[in-house]
Amino acid sequence: MSEALDPEPAAPEPPQAEIFTLAVDAMGGDRAPEVVVNGIGIAAERHPEAKFLLVGDEARLLPLLLANKRARAACTVLHAPDTITGDCKPTAALRQRQASMRLAIDAVAEGRAQGVVSAGNTGALLALSKVVLKTLPGIDRPAMAAIMPSARGDVVMLDLGANVACDSRNLVEFALLGDMFARTVLGLTAPTIGLLNVGSEELKGDDRVRRAAEILRRSHIGNQFYGFVEGHDIPGGTTDVVVTDGFTGNVALKTGEGALKLATDLLRQIFSSSLSAKLGYLLAKPGLDQMKLWLDPRRYNGAVMLGLNGVVVKSHGGTDAEGFAHATDVAIDMVVHRFNDRIREGLGRLGEAMTEQYPLAAVR
């Protein structure tokens, strides 16, 4: 749908994988634009094929770029006079047409960039992306997805808060989006998919969730559908993808992160509590350092808005340059692997399955 806005109708669609540009909202996040510029410096080194359209206050960006050679070589600056603040409501954000976040998303809509990364206001990013980029044909609502550590490797979870309330159809769409995301970002060939529910013993479950399960079982990803999973299955890694509504997903993600932080904080206390414990730490250091690295929240930074006509990645606002670079990596992965083209194919097949067995009206 963004093609309609394209001022250069001759521009080829999709772009070649070898050359691509990411639009970056330079002004979003707690320590912007410093963290953003330094993050791009790190990402540029890892991805020499990537170009960056850095959108923000030119007067603040130029000195930072002068000090960072790698970022400077990979960036083009687009001046944006305004910034969307963290407490700005989505409706107010929509009116700020000269804000860095808006101009960065416009660049994707107009084909000047293939994806956008922002560490700014999540609600505004979601609202602007929906309005400017539109959702993919067949997708009702976009979802936020991210990666979490588990006992059996990384797990994709969605939705993480874009949709507080969801119906069966939304959950089915999230499963499809999650499937493609796991293939693209985790490199899996047939990711297993679980639908989050409460223990079947305790409760009858939830109509919405049971209907979504029924549709998924009969869809073209039916053989990847594991069935219901519970909270402990997320860190347990029972499935590669965990699908849920935005309220539950947001709470589960943050509870899991918080519990891991509790454990690592306890360990830090223990290993500094005595001379003997400090020595113990040194002896077990290789393993403990690996654990720390593996659970490092920066490694999981980069929540993706899935289901839009364009790649949109949200970085945590409080992250550092390394974390921002990781969010940039996620966006690059999705662009290089033509995530949205693959989603379009998958949606076509899901559409057939739904129309055959479940007329849309009955599903909702």
Q: Which of residues 208-237 bind a copy of itself (CB under 8 A)?
A: 230-236
Which range of residues in 47-55, 59-67, 115-123, 350-358 is near a copy of itself by CB under 8 A? 115-123
Contact pick of 254, 355, 360, 362 for a copy of itself (by CB under 8 A): 254
Question: Considering the rule CB under 8 A, would residue 295 count as an interface residue with a copy of itself?
Answer: yes
Q: From the CB of 214, what's the least distance to a copy of itself, in Å? A: 18
Rounded CA separation 139/137 (Å):
6
| CB-CB contact of 341 with 56 (8 Å) | no
Chain positions 15 to 74 lying near a copy of itself, rule: CB under 8 A, are none
Contact pick of 11, 73, 277, 362 for a copy of itself (by CB under 8 A): 277
Looking at the Cβ atoms of 131 and 267, the one nearer to a copy of itself is: 267
Contact pick of 114, 118, 168, 248 for a copy of itself (by CB under 8 A): 248
Question: Considering the rule CB under 8 A, would residue 267 count as an interface residue with a copy of itself?
Answer: yes
Question: Considering the rule CB under 8 A, would residue 268 count as an interface residue with a copy of itself?
Answer: no
Closest CA to 38 of 56, 59, 57, 65: 65
Q: Could you write out the three-class secondary structure of the chain?
A: CHHHHCCCCCCCCCCCCCCEEEEEECCCCCCCCHHHHHHHHHHHHHCCCEEEEEEECHHHHHHHHHCCHHHHHHEEEEECCECCCCCCCHHHHHHCCCEHHHHHHHHHHCCCCCEEEECCCHHHHHHHHHHHHCECCCCCCCEEEEEECCCCCCEEEECCCCCCCCCHHHHHHHHHHHHHHHHHHCCCCCCCEEEECCCCCCCCCCHHHHHHHHHHHHCCCHHHEEEEECCCHHHHCCCCEEECCHHHHHHHHHHHHHHHHHHHHHHHHHHCCCHHHHHHHHHHHHHHHHHHHHHCHHHHCCEEEECECCEEEECCCCCCHHHHHHHHHHHHHHHHCCHHHHHHHHHHHHHHHHHHHCCHHHHC
Q: From the CB of 228, what's the least distance to a copy of itself, in Å? A: 11
Contact pick of 39, 142, 178, 256 for a copy of itself (by CB under 8 A): 256
Q: From the CB of 50, what's the least distance to a copy of itself, in Å? A: 28
Looking at the Cβ atoms of 126 and 188, the one nearer to a copy of itself is: 126
Rounded CA separation 197/126 (Å):
26
Question: Considering the rule CB under 8 A, would residue 206 count as an interface residue with a copy of itself?
Answer: yes
Which range of residues in 21-29, 131-139, 166-174, 276-284 is near a copy of itself by CB under 8 A? 276-284
| CB-CB contact of 230 with 199 (8 Å) | yes
Contact pick of 76, 274, 355, 357 for a copy of itself (by CB under 8 A): 274
Hey, what amino acid is at 303?
Answer: A
Closest CA to 124 of 164, 158, 159, 97: 97
Chain positions 133 to 162 lying near a copy of itself, rule: CB under 8 A, are 149-151, 161
Question: Considering the rule CB under 8 A, would residue 266 count as an interface residue with a copy of itself?
Answer: yes
Q: From the CB of 347, what's the least distance to a copy of itself, in Å? A: 25
Which range of residues in 52-60, 100-108, 201-209, 348-356 is near a copy of itself by CB under 8 A? 201-209
The residue count for binding a copy of itself (CB under 8 A) is: 71
Question: Considering the rule CB under 8 A, would residue 323 count as an interface residue with a copy of itself?
Answer: no
Contact pick of 118, 121, 309, 315 for a copy of itself (by CB under 8 A): 121
Question: Considering the rule CB under 8 A, would residue 92 count as an interface residue with a copy of itself?
Answer: no
Q: From the CB of 30, what's the least distance to a copy of itself, in Å? A: 12
Q: From the CB of 25, what's the least distance to a copy of itself, in Å? A: 15
